[in-house]
Amino acid sequence: MHFDLADEQRMVQETARRFALEEIAPTLAEEERAHAFKPERVAKMGELGFFGCALPDDLGGNGLGFFESVLMAEQVAKVSASWRLPFNMQNLGPALTVAKFGTAAQKAKYIPGWVAGTQLGFFAMTEPNTGSDVASMKTHAIDKGDHWEVHGSKMWISQAHVGHAGLLYAYTDRSAGNRGITAFIIEPKTWAGVSARPIETKLGLHCAPTGEFVFDGMKVPKENVLGQPGEGFRICMWQLNQTRLGCAAGALGVAGGALDLAIDYANGRTQFGKPIAQHQMIQAQIADMVVEHQAAQMLVYRAAWLKDQGRPSQYETSVAKLAASEAAVHAANECMKIFGSYGYSTEYPAERFYRDAKSLQIVEGTSNIQRIIISGMATGATPNRE
């Protein structure tokens, strides 16, 4: 196997690193306190090509693939896990899914704005009583002849109340089970019958807007069905296999950021007459963080490489997401302990890494769900898919 990055990949990685350090880091503490989200920063990310990965040229693709997307998301998440979210909300979620399943008209109308970062995206599947069990959703759409009428609610949706256009999953035929779920492209800011409000009671990801939708007869034009009616569950599972990789990349960033922070602090903090980095207990903590981070990194990079080859990757993506998210939580926890009392203070980033890391065990399929997927494929009960 070849482990060196090509010159272009190093340039992409460096561009994202510089962006995070120069555009996000200087004001991050203030923005975190204010729970501030800056749409103009998403547009800047779009200008830099962050959201054109794995898309054809005629749809705004930049010639880069999943691997480069991972490299960029990882660097951004090392500074801010919140600002890793747009990679999923713009590119790996809506844009890639519409590129694969959408009509020519849908692609032309929606993908350019998502890629440019000027049209904020989202994907809505989670509900108050529907998380891991996607097929238990209650939101439904009624066929009204020339349009669908949507009723129900979604919550914990990233960019819900700021989003311009995104994906909605709802039942159109409940008697058909998960084969009765349909995917729609919706425009909540301009359509009647839908309201959105923010959710601000979150442990972490304070600069990543999260909200809920309430649908009360929202009319969706027939031309906004993505794929065919009844294909929504299949489309949703395909989409999750792509956005799951973005979460894994974010977890790498959080783990790497926490590791760098812990090493820097351990080298500078003196106790018992020497830097704490020279105490064996601290050395053991750092060594474990390094091993877990590097192992997760290889798994995430492999999953991205498989996607770029067009090969089945659901198995490898779930392995990568599980390993990386668990490594991120462990690294953030150890970083906080190495900082001691200062780790508990909002004066230092250690506590933010700790809060942000926990989300990665939940989003795009919890760690328990990843274990179910992995074990099913490992035992041959289910096939590996694209």
**Residues paired with residue 166 on neighbouring β-strands, in sequence order:** 186
Is residue 81 a contact partner of residue 356, using CB atoms and an 8 Å limit? yes
Range of the domain at 97: 7-116
Q: Same domain, yes or no, for 339 and 319?
A: yes
CATH of the domain at 37: 1.10.540.10
Q: Could you give the number of structural domains in the chain?
A: 3
d(CA 182, CA 20): 37
Q: Same domain, yes or no, for 259 and 374?
A: yes
pLDDT of 121 strictly over 80 = yes
Predicted confidence (pLDDT) per residue in 139-162, tens digit: 999 999 999 999 999 999 999 999
pLDDT of 185 strictly over 90 = yes
CATH of the domain at 264: 1.20.140.10
Q: Find tokens 């301009």 and name the residue.
A: 190
Q: Same domain, yes or no, for 97 and 129?
A: no
Residue ending a domain, among 72, 95, 116, is 116
Mean pLDDT over 357-373 rounds to: 97
Spell out the residues 6+ positions from residue 93 whose beta carbon is closer than 8 angstroms to its own.
121, 122, 123, 166, 167, 239, 242, 243, 246
Q: Same domain, yes or no, for 52 and 154?
A: no
Rg (CA), the chain: 21
> Which of residues 3 and 247 earns the better pLDDT score?
247
Q: Same domain, yes or no, for 265 and 284?
A: yes
Residue 213 confidence class, pLDDT cut points 50, 70, 90: very high
* CA-to-CA dists, residue 337 to 265, 330, 334, 365, angstroms: 11, 11, 5, 28
Predicted confidence (pLDDT) per residue in 276-329, tens digit: 999 999 999 999 999 999 999 999 999 999 999 999 999 999 999 999 999 999
Mean pLDDT over 179-195 rounds to: 98
Looking at residue 95, the DSSP 8-state letter turns out to be I
Cα diameter, the chain:
79
- Please give the positions annotated as active site: 364
pLDDT of 386 strictly over 90 = no
Q: Same domain, yes or no, for 279 and 372?
A: yes
**Residues paired with residue 270 on neighbouring β-strands, in sequence order:** 275
What pTM, to 2 d.p., does this model score? 0.96
User: Exposure string (b/e) for 209-239, b if CB count within 10 Å is 16 or more?
Assistant: bbbbbbbeebbbeeebbbbebbbbbbbbebb
State residue 1's pLDDT score. Answer: 64
Spell out the residues 6+ positions from residue 61 whose beta carbon is closer than 8 angstroms to its own.
52, 53, 54, 55, 115
36 φ, ψ (degrees, to nearest 5): -85, 140
68 inside domain = yes
Residue ending a domain, among 230, 248, 269, is 230
Whole-number mean pLDDT of the chain? 97
265 inside domain = yes
46 inside domain = yes
Spell out the residues 6+ positions from residue 169 whose beta carbon is closer than 8 angstroms to its own.
123, 124, 125, 134, 137, 139, 181, 182, 183, 184, 232, 233, 235, 236
Q: Same domain, yes or no, for 61 and 76?
A: yes
Q: Same domain, yes or no, for 237 and 373?
A: yes
Residue ending a domain, among 201, 230, 259, is 230
Mean pLDDT over 377-386 rounds to: 96
- Positive or negative, the CA dihedral 334, 339, 344, 348 is negative
Reading the block at residue 95, the tokens are: 């844009």
Q: Same domain, yes or no, for 149 and 245?
A: no
288 inside domain = yes
Is residue 174 a contact partner of residue 158, using CB atoms and an 8 Å limit? no
Q: Same domain, yes or no, for 189 and 240?
A: no
State residue 285's pLDDT score. Answer: 98
- 17 half-sphere exposure, CB direction, 13 A CA radius: 9
